[in-house]
Amino acid sequence: MTLLKVEALSREFGGILAVDSLHFEIAPGSIHSIIGPNGAGKTTLFNLVTGVYAPSAGRVHFEGRDITGLAPHRLAAMGLSRTFQNLQIFFNMTALENVMVGLHLTLDRRLGAALFRLGGVARKERRARDAAAELMRFVGLEAYLDVDADAMPYGALKGLELARALASKPRLLLLDEPAAGLNPVETEEVAGLIRKIAQSGVTVVLVEHDMRLVMGVSDHVLVLDYGRKLAEGTVDEVRANPDVIAAYLGSGAAGGTHGA
């Protein structure tokens, strides 16, 4: 059984293939990493899988269903969630409200109930607050509950994205550079969180430049270069792969500075 299956997936921008006929599968219940130098197409791949971009060619299957071209909110309802490399925070809300948006699909979304405050909206909102607060505690942000998002430090915002993504109870969670810009202590905390999330049964796909983090948590690694699959396998297999070594030494600064 595969959870996510990508077939011949391509996407071009102005004549350049950012993702180039990519095939891979992701088995449920483990931590997968996708690595590769800057510009390799990792974020584009996430955008294709989550419906942010439409592919130029190829298909994406999730739990056996063809989800190619579906809007992100449909995928969210099917159990897919993600974080963003460039923070996508609701800066017009408090931290807690950010996480509450993640609960959207579990809440009462009827217009009539909202307008006339019927059907126990007030009570349900209180329960949603509690659930969101619980998630913020889980990612270690209990100090920020009612703080405006635009007053929070960068590291905390990274955690906030994670809490919001978890709020929709995903079965597949895509994390785009969750440790970028964090100090070693914070990175260690993120590693711990990723393990905890995976243990709770959520399949995690991780894009990350911090090789210590990648090598430390991954069950499976996929290496991208110029939009193509360069190598795939366990941490040890990938580390020993001559193509990978060549690419990483060749592209020098891009991947090398982050190396283990």
Ligand X SMILES: Nc1ncnc2c1ncn2[C@@H]1O[C@H](COP(=O)(O)OP(=O)(O)O)[C@@H](O)[C@H]1O
Residues that bind Mg ion in the complex, under the rule CB under 5 A: 43, 85
Which range binds another protein by CB under 8 A, 51-59, 135-143, 193-201, 205-213?
51-59
Residue 123 binds another protein (CB under 8 A): no
Indicate the residue among 43 and 187 with the shorter CB distance to Mg ion.
Answer: 43
Residue 62 binds another protein (CB under 8 A): no
Q: How far is the CB of 170 from Mg ion (least distance, A)?
A: 20
Q: How far is the CB of 3 from another protein (least distance, A)?
A: 17
Given another protein, ligand X, Mg ion, none, residue 104, with its beta carbon under 5 to 8 Å by kind, binds another protein
Which of 4, 17, 42, 50 binds another protein (CB under 8 A)? It is 50
Which of 22, 24, 41, 210 binds ligand X (CB under 6 A)? It is 41
Which range binds ligand X by CB under 6 A, 41-49, 74-82, 147-155, 162-170?
41-49
Which range binds another protein by CB under 8 A, 26-34, 90-98, 180-188, 222-230?
90-98
| C-alpha dihedral sign at 194, 64, 75, 20 | positive
Residue 43 binds ligand X (CB under 6 A): yes
Token pair in block for residue 33: 């990493």
Which of 52, 147, 215, 235 binds another protein (CB under 8 A)? It is 52
| Count of residues interacting with another protein (CB under 8 A) | 48
Pairing mode, strands 228-233 and 172-176: unpaired
Question: How much is the CA Rg of the chain, to the nearest whole Å?
Answer: 19
Residue 10 binds ligand X (CB under 6 A): no
Q: How far is the CB of 226 from ligand X (least distance, A)?
A: 9
Three-state SS for the chain is CCCEEEEEEEEEECCEEEEEEEEEEECCCCEEEEECCCCCCHHHHHHHHCCCCCCCEEEEEECCEECCCCCHHHHHHHCEEECCCCCCCCCCCEHHHHHHHHCHHHCCCCHHHHHHCCCCHHHHHHHHHHHHHHHHHHCCCHHHCCCEHHHCCHHHHHHHHHHHHHHCCCCEEEEECCCCCCCHHHHHHHHHHHHHHHHCCCEEEEECCCHHHHHHHCCEEEEEECCEEEEEECHHHHHHCHHHHHHHHHCCHHHHCCCC
Instruction: Write the binding mask 21 to 40 for ligand X: x where contact by CB under 6 A, - elsewhere.
Output: ---------------x-xxx
Indicate the residue among 44 and 98 with the shorter CB distance to ligand X.
Answer: 44
Which range binds ligand X by CB under 6 A, 42-50, 125-133, 135-143, 179-187?
42-50
Contact 260, 211 (CB under 8 A): yes
Given ligand X, Mg ion, another protein, none, residue 29, with its beta carbon under 5 to 8 Å by kind, binds none
Q: Write phi, then psi, for 170 (nearest 5 degrees).
A: -75, 155
